[in-house]
Structure 1
Amino acid sequence: MADSRAGGGAPTVLRIVLGKRLQQLREKACLSYEQAAKALDVTHATVRRMEKAEVGLKVPYVEKLLRTYGVMDPEELEGFIALAREANQPGWWHRYRDVLPEWFSVFVSLETESHEIRAYEPHYVPGLLQTENYAYAVLRAGMPHAPEDEVKRQVSLRLERQAVLHRERPPMLWTVVDETVLRRPIGGAAVMREQVDHLMEAVSRHQHIRLQIMPFSSGPHPAMYGPFHHFRFPLEELPDVVCSESLVGAVYFDQRDDVSGFLEALDRMCAQAVPLSRTLDALSALRKEI
């Protein structure tokens, strides 16, 4: 995946899946991009972009490609067409498009469809675990010149994202946060107490939510350069994806060597951090200091 600041529209996970399935069928049929493009009367670049989920997938194009690739079974055809229609539907987050950057649309799509999320956060409580008051304080600090309505819309989006943790089959969320996250006074003492209480409740009540604290005393670790998220999916067509954020956007990695580097860093950090069995004790001790 490329830097999401590039144009072309933010792909949904289903669009990525469909693109990869079309690529597999084309390769199985031993057809080149040029041969596939000829069937659609488009350029080979268009077919390439369809497979990479960089453009929307027109249902007539998908149907023509499937037949070109030798897919003739009515049920298989209908299944692909149904997936194409669904892939073209905007995600629930589309209604926040007035305040949602394109790069973050990709992030929310990955977050919504994943079944495992691992992350390192050196600055803030992860968005999926933030209280409303904490989220407001963080967003207001990051958007000092934004209108109040825009900040509140961003808060609403952040809170709605958290529904993923409470669905019937939620993803496993395993986050390592730096001790700084819990000591930086964001929003004041009352907001911080509320936030730490929320973390303690989440960890104690939900087995799919795991939180580890990286204490100052542990010294340097492999991910001191910045925050990142690792997403894993139940769909075999989708490789693991890592999102590395910056002030103005994000870069998404899905190449095996890149992702492996992030996973190794996470594993090393988990070994250095406070063990999961002691997270509640660590949070309780920090809570008393606020």
Structure 2
Amino acid sequence: MKRRRLALTLRKLREQTGLSSAEAARRVDHDASWLSRIEIAEVRPHPNDVRALLTLYGVAGEEAEAVIEVARQAKQRGWWQQYSDVLPGWFATYVGMESEASVIRSYQCQMIPGLLQTEDYARAAFRGAPVPMRDEEVERQVALRMERQAILGSAGQPTLRVILDEGAVRRAVGGPDVLRAQITRLLEESSRSRLQIQVLPFGAGTGFDGSFVILDFPPLPAPYPDAVEDRLVYVDTLTGALYLEAPAEVAGYAAAFEQLAANALSPSESRDTLRKLAVE
């Protein structure tokens, strides 16, 4: 996430000067496409290049040093890089963001979200995916998914709000035994502080036909320039992902999430429903 926030910061600071990306790149002795790749977080800039850009943009002193420190941190490898053999770049970006988020809001209409899956459920989900995987790939993906869940027991555990369409909790991924164990896991997790699970029942008569996640991030400490949004929307697709950052787009998804939460069962009612489903 730090690479993406750095990219947004550099883009907004450049735009405030009225310079095009090609002109700004030329003034720090790089080709025209270099800065464009940095501003979409495709490449990690060297801290010295960041310093040169900040000088060009008129940012100096403690503010500049704060941005340069984030550039240094952005070059560090995350724990998830050990799974680069099965982790596509578009999803590696999400895993990094997830590990830094302070609030995660997740609406799922098809499956239990990865952060709450049991190992057997995750294995069955990967084996049943529309894109076939070799057994060794499945096991690597399961290991990655289990390691992601470490944030739920960490000192900096994010607030997690999950809305599950009833179809997601009824879909017998892996068969009845696997699903029963998965529902039991949801019941156990729902007792955690800072974790809320709601079920959106079929009887609500409403829903949304696409899963999405809203990530909130803690503000970077002063004197980092106040140039970036601290919230974005992640939408998963079969072969990639969408990262929505425009304020209007984020606001639309945030409003949709709250409307879904209002139509869903309360957390206590949701636990009662999950208990009944486990028995069924």
Q: Offset at 1:35?
A: 4.6
Distance in 2 of aligned mates of 1:38 and 1:47: 9
Partner of 2:28: 40
Letter matched to residue 229 of structure 1: V
Partner of 1:288: 279
Deviation per CA, 1:196-227: give whole Å up to 9, x if none: 111111101x1211111111111132x1x221
1:200 is aligned, of 187, 192, 198, to 187
Letter matched to residue 93 of structure 2: V
Query: Is 1:138 equivalent to 2:122 in the alignment?
Result: no
1:105-144 alignment to 2 at 5 Å? 105-142=92-129
Query: Is 1:249 equivalent to 2:236 in the alignment?
Result: no
2:126–2:133 CA contact under 8 A, matched in 1? no
Distance in 2 of aligned mates of 1:24 and 1:70: 13
Partner of 1:61: 49
For this pair of structures, how many residues does the alignment match?
273
Q: Which SS does the other structure have where 1:99 is aligned?
A: coil
Query: Is 1:159 equivalent to 2:143 in the alignment?
Result: no
Distance in 2 of aligned mates of 1:143 and 1:149: 17
Q: Offset at 1:30?
A: 5.7
- The runs of 5 or more residues in structure 1 that have no matched partner are 1-12
Deviation per CA, 1:36-82: give whole Å up to 9, x if none: 32331123442233233232212221122233334443x55544333
1:268-283 alignment to 2 at 5 Å? 268-283=259-274
Distance in 2 of aligned mates of 1:140 and 1:46: 40
Judged with a 3 Å threshold, the aligned counterparts in structure 2 of structure 1 residues 81 and 252 are, in CA distance, closer, same or farther, namely: closer
Partner of 1:229: 213
2:218–2:230 CA contact under 8 A, matched in 1? no
Query: Is 1:213 equivalent to 2:199 in the alignment?
Result: yes
Distance in 1 of aligned mates of 2:55 and 2:165: 53
- The runs of 5 or more residues in structure 2 that have no matched partner are 220-225
Q: TM-score, normalised by structure 1?
A: 0.86
Judged with a 3 Å threshold, the aligned counterparts in structure 2 of structure 1 residues 171 and 30 are, in CA distance, closer, same or farther, namely: same
Judged with a 3 Å threshold, the aligned counterparts in structure 2 of structure 1 residues 192 and 82 are, in CA distance, closer, same or farther, namely: same
Distance in 2 of aligned mates of 1:38 and 1:275: 56
1:150 is aligned, of 137, 159, 169, to 137
Q: TM-score, normalised by structure 2?
A: 0.89
Query: Is 1:174 equivalent to 2:161 in the alignment?
Result: yes
Letter matched to residue 56 of structure 1: R
Deviation per CA, 1:228-282: give whole Å up to 9, x if none: 1111111262342111222222212111121222122211111111112322211
1:5-44 alignment to 2 at 5 Å? 13-27=1-15, 31-44=19-32
Q: Offset at 1:83?
A: 2.0
2:161–2:195 CA contact under 8 A, matched in 1? yes
Q: Offset at 1:85?
A: 1.8
2:235–2:241 CA contact under 8 A, matched in 1? yes
Fraction of identical pairs, as percent: 39
Please identify, of 227-236 and 130-139, the stretch whose mean Cα deviation from structure 2 is larger.
227-236
Distance in 1 of aligned mates of 2:211 and 2:188: 24
Q: Which SS does the other structure have where 2:206 is aligned?
A: coil
Distance in 2 of aligned mates of 1:69 and 1:255: 23
Q: Which SS does the other structure have where 2:162 is aligned?
A: strand
